[in-house]
Amino acid sequence: MTRKFFLIFLLIWTMTDSFAERQRIALNDSWEFYPALHVGSQKPLPTAVSLPHTWNNTDVLHSTDYLRTTMWYKRTIHIDEQTANAKRIFLYFHGVNSMATVYVNKNMAGEHKGGYTAFCLEITPYIKYGENILEILVSNAFRTDIAPVTGDFNVFGGIHRPVELIITDKNCISPLDYASSGVYLKQSNVTDKNADLEIITKLSVTDMAHDLRVRSIVTDAGADTLAILETAPDNWFECRQTLSIENPTLWNGRKNPYMYNVRVHLIQDNKIIDEVVQKTGFRYFNIDKSEGFFLNGEYLDLYGFGKHEDIEGKGSAMSKEDIAGDFEIIEESGATAVRMTHYPHSDIAYDICDSLGLIVWTEIPNVGPGGFLGPGYFPTAEFQEHLKTVLKEMIRQKYNHPSVIFWGLFNELNFNYDCPVAFMNDLNIIAKQEDPSRKTAFATFIQDTLFDSTADLIAYNKYYGWYQGHARDYGKFLDDVHALHEKPIGISEYGAGGSINHHDNPSEKPKSGGKWHPEEYQAWCHEHVWEQMHDRKFVWCKFIWNFADFSSSVKNEGDRFGINDKGLVTYDRKVRKDAFYFYKANWNPEPMLHITSKRDSLKSSVSDIKVYTNLKEAVLYVNGNKISKKSRDELCRIHWSDIPLEKGENYIVVEGKTNGKKYVDSCKWYVQ
């Protein structure tokens, strides 16, 4: 994907939902920030910040006891007289981690639990003409009623996603239905001949002395109108409309992520007073226990990455450009799917997946401790109600995205404490009530059938070659769990740690929790796991852990404290590790070749040279001398053994050709 495309995409994203009678005003600048619990001063000096913002993007890399506390955010907004007297005003938060209490002019307007779903509050009763004070009390302190309560990642505190002011007429399409768009696009009976679409519009009506109608307009990607339907609402709260699209162009993953636009108008006394625009893509899918995943009737191998919202220097306060940059790298890899772990991500991520054709698994932060101590689930009424709310928020906020196929209910819960199965069944029922059209899934490391009732699909987090066994054990494991379960099985996590600063014999398994994580071993482990995994079609998903290195205060291994280095890209996104190029060669048909172990520049006088390439063959040159031409194997590798090198500097060049074009990679190695 070109940079130009991303800039255009970001511009379109910022314009979505704009209309004359509905204003969306960004409130990301001019905030003051100061601690809630301050010592020695009644009036602490504030720090000027812009959103998205987190207060612990660096301390999580230095201490297991990172800052989990409470802070204030404060700013003013100016409201003109006409707006103050005749409009409704809402605050829309895309994400505040983890607990937010909102005050407007010293009045408590509401609160929200959970850092990874949006929430919207109406603040009309508290607004006045002129200057208004917004104060947000934010806490990421550990609590047993807010998820996640554990996990191998950090809970960054702050308003870590954007904030908007929404201004509407007295009657409007509701932004208060779990902070959704207020418009739900429910597709059914989809084929390449026809697609049925039900448009459900939620209304918020405070002035009933008017004639109201809802008009829905469906246009194709070229902006040509395909259908217009105008009806009176079913009641003051909702309008349901149904229509059909003949011969739809299907949303077909990476092949053709075709999107339609749905423009919904609220009409009052023959005047449009509100508008919401949503996109959709028509598709159908199924998952077979033996044959895997099918999109629009064709087999699709789902492979890609688990992904955190976390980047060096910013933590989870990632900008639109940061997120777009991540997906540019994911697109480069050739991935067909992504797992948004371990919580719902920013809206921009799902918009990009829609546009790229990436299949999405998205999940709530119902996370177990993995191999660490402590429960991830508390059987209290407060915690259970919180998880139910977060699940409804996620489903309603992400409902219209065609890329989203799987709702994730939990990750790595265990039975060392209270058994969570009964409540996970309850979550599955809620998910099916909210959206029966998609599949539910969970990720586990427990090789048992205890959780089988809790979701449609099963996936395993298993690290053969790293935490247990040998990488070559993966095939037997896959066959065993395929036979064990009556439902389809997938792989939600696999991989190994890898540091670009550590280099060693790839066949020597390092200690997973130790300080030595050679890049060569990470690539070697992925090669051997993928060799056993790629041709087993019954594995309905194959997700690498992880797209990029991420911060985790429980980690003290590899070359940096507080970093989980299983990513195939470095935390700062500046370096793609060798394992990334292994998958690029296997997943992306665009011609490429890459010499491995480039960073291991000190070599012995006789060394092996390995290349990842999807070219049929390549030629090796050492110090200008042609060594030999070799063909790649079925996993896109070429290996030259026992190549003599000269003392001092050696110039390594590998060349290949396809369709008359030459591809070259090179490096310098040294022999002492």
> Are 163 and 210 found together in one domain?
no
At 16, the pLDDT band (50, 70, 90 cuts) reads very low
pLDDT digits (tens, 9 = 90+) for 332-386: 999 999 999 999 999 999 999 999 999 999 999 999 987 677 788 899 999 999 9
Q: Output the CA–CA distances (angstroms, integers) from residue 590 to 315, 372, 587, in the order listed.
A: 32, 41, 9
In-domain check, residue 110 = yes
**CATH code at 26?**
2.60.120.260
pLDDT digits (tens, 9 = 90+) for 177-203: 999 999 999 999 999 999 999 999 999
| Higher pLDDT pick, 208 / 272 | 272
> Are 152 and 208 found together in one domain?
no
> Are 194 and 164 found together in one domain?
no
> Are 241 and 100 found together in one domain?
no
Other beta carbons within 10 angstroms of residue 311's beta carbon come to 23
Point out which residues pair with 23 in neighbouring strands: 167
What SS3 state is found at 235? coil
At 110, the pLDDT band (50, 70, 90 cuts) reads very high
Domain boundary among 109, 143, 172: 172
Alpha-helical regions (H) of 301-420? 320-333, 347-356, 381-398
Phi, psi of 316, deg, nearest 5: -85, 0
> Are 155 and 39 found together in one domain?
yes
Structural domain that includes position 646: 602-671
pLDDT at 14 over 50: no
pLDDT at 39 over 70: no
DSSP H helix total and E strand total for the chain? 9, 41
Predicted pLDDT at 370: 72
Other beta carbons within 10 angstroms of residue 655's beta carbon come to 17
Most confident among 18-27, 207-216, 633-642 (mean pLDDT) = 633-642
In-domain check, residue 155 = yes
pLDDT at 18 over 90: no
Closest residue by Cα to residue 481 from 446, 454, 440? 446
Instruction: Estimate the share of the chain in helix, then strand, then coil, as percent rounded to the nearest 5.
Output: 20, 40, 40
- Strand 260-268 versus strand 271-280 pairing type: antiparallel
In-domain check, residue 307 = no
In-domain check, residue 162 = yes
Other beta carbons within 10 angstroms of residue 63's beta carbon come to 12
What SS3 state is found at 507? coil
> Are 204 and 78 found together in one domain?
no
pLDDT digits (tens, 9 = 90+) for 298-344: 999 999 999 999 999 999 999 999 999 999 999 999 999 999 999 99
Predicted pLDDT at 579: 98
Predicted pLDDT at 40: 64
Give me the percent of the chain exceeding a pLDDT of 70: 96
In-domain check, residue 455 = no
Query: What is the sign of the dihedral through the CA atoms of 378, 380, 385 and 386?
Result: negative
Q: Which of 38-47, 157-166, 558-567, 598-607 has the lowest mean pLDDT?
A: 38-47
> Are 124 and 199 found together in one domain?
no
Phi, psi of 540, deg, nearest 5: -70, -20
At 17, the pLDDT band (50, 70, 90 cuts) reads very low
In-domain check, residue 509 = no
Active site members: 412
**CATH code at 276?**
2.60.40.10
What is the Cα–Cα distance from 519 to 504, expressed in whole angstroms? 8
What is the Cα–Cα distance from 283 to 254, expressed in whole angstroms? 13
Averaged over 94-115, what is the pLDDT? 98
Predicted pLDDT at 373: 72
Averaged over 495-502, what is the pLDDT? 97
* Number of separate domains in the chain: 3
What is the Cα–Cα distance from 251 to 599, expressed in whole angstroms? 41
Average pLDDT of every residue of the chain:
94
Point out which residues pair with 162 in neighbouring strands: none
> Are 28 and 158 found together in one domain?
yes
Averaged over 60-75, what is the pLDDT? 88
What is the Cα–Cα distance from 133 to 27, expressed in whole angstroms? 13
What is the Cα–Cα distance from 395 to 362, expressed in whole angstroms? 9
> Are 14 and 102 found together in one domain?
yes
Predicted pLDDT at 415: 72
Q: Which residues have a Cβ under 8 Å from the Cβ of 242 and sit 6 or more positions away?
A: 196, 197, 198, 199
pLDDT digits (tens, 9 = 90+) for 586-643: 999 999 999 999 999 999 999 999 999 999 999 999 999 999 999 999 999 999 999 9
- Packing angle between helix 320-333 and helix 347-356, nearest 10 degrees? 30
Q: CA angle 146-93-546, nearest 5°?
A: 60
For the beta sheet containing 119-122, the strands, ordered from the edge strand earlier in sequence to the opposite edge, are 23-26, 163-168, 88-93, 119-122
> Are 162 and 229 found together in one domain?
no
Label each residue of 7-24 as H, E or C.
HHHHHHHHHCCCECCEEE
pLDDT at 19 over 80: no
84 sits in which H/E element: helix 81-86
Predicted pLDDT at 369: 83
- Strand 256-257 versus strand 251-252 pairing type: antiparallel
What is the Cα–Cα distance from 627 to 611, expressed in whole angstroms? 14
> Are 57 and 153 found together in one domain?
yes
Q: Which residues have a Cβ under 8 Å from the Cβ of 36 and sit 6 or more positions away?
A: 69, 70, 71, 72, 137, 139
Domain boundary among 122, 151, 172: 172
Domain boundary among 280, 302, 322: 280
Averaged over 516-537, what is the pLDDT? 96
In-domain check, residue 616 = yes
What is the Cα–Cα distance from 436 to 429, expressed in whole angstroms? 10
Ramachandran class of 562: left when φ > 0, alpha when ψ lies in -120 to 50, beta otherwise: left
What is the Cα–Cα distance from 548 to 550, expressed in whole angstroms? 6
Q: Which residues have a Cβ under 8 Å from the Cβ of 187 and sit 6 or more positions away?
A: 195, 196, 197, 198, 280, 282, 437
> Are 11 and 137 found together in one domain?
yes
pLDDT at 132 over 70: yes
pLDDT digits (tens, 9 = 90+) for 458-497: 999 999 999 999 999 999 999 999 999 999 999 999 999 9
In-domain check, residue 229 = yes
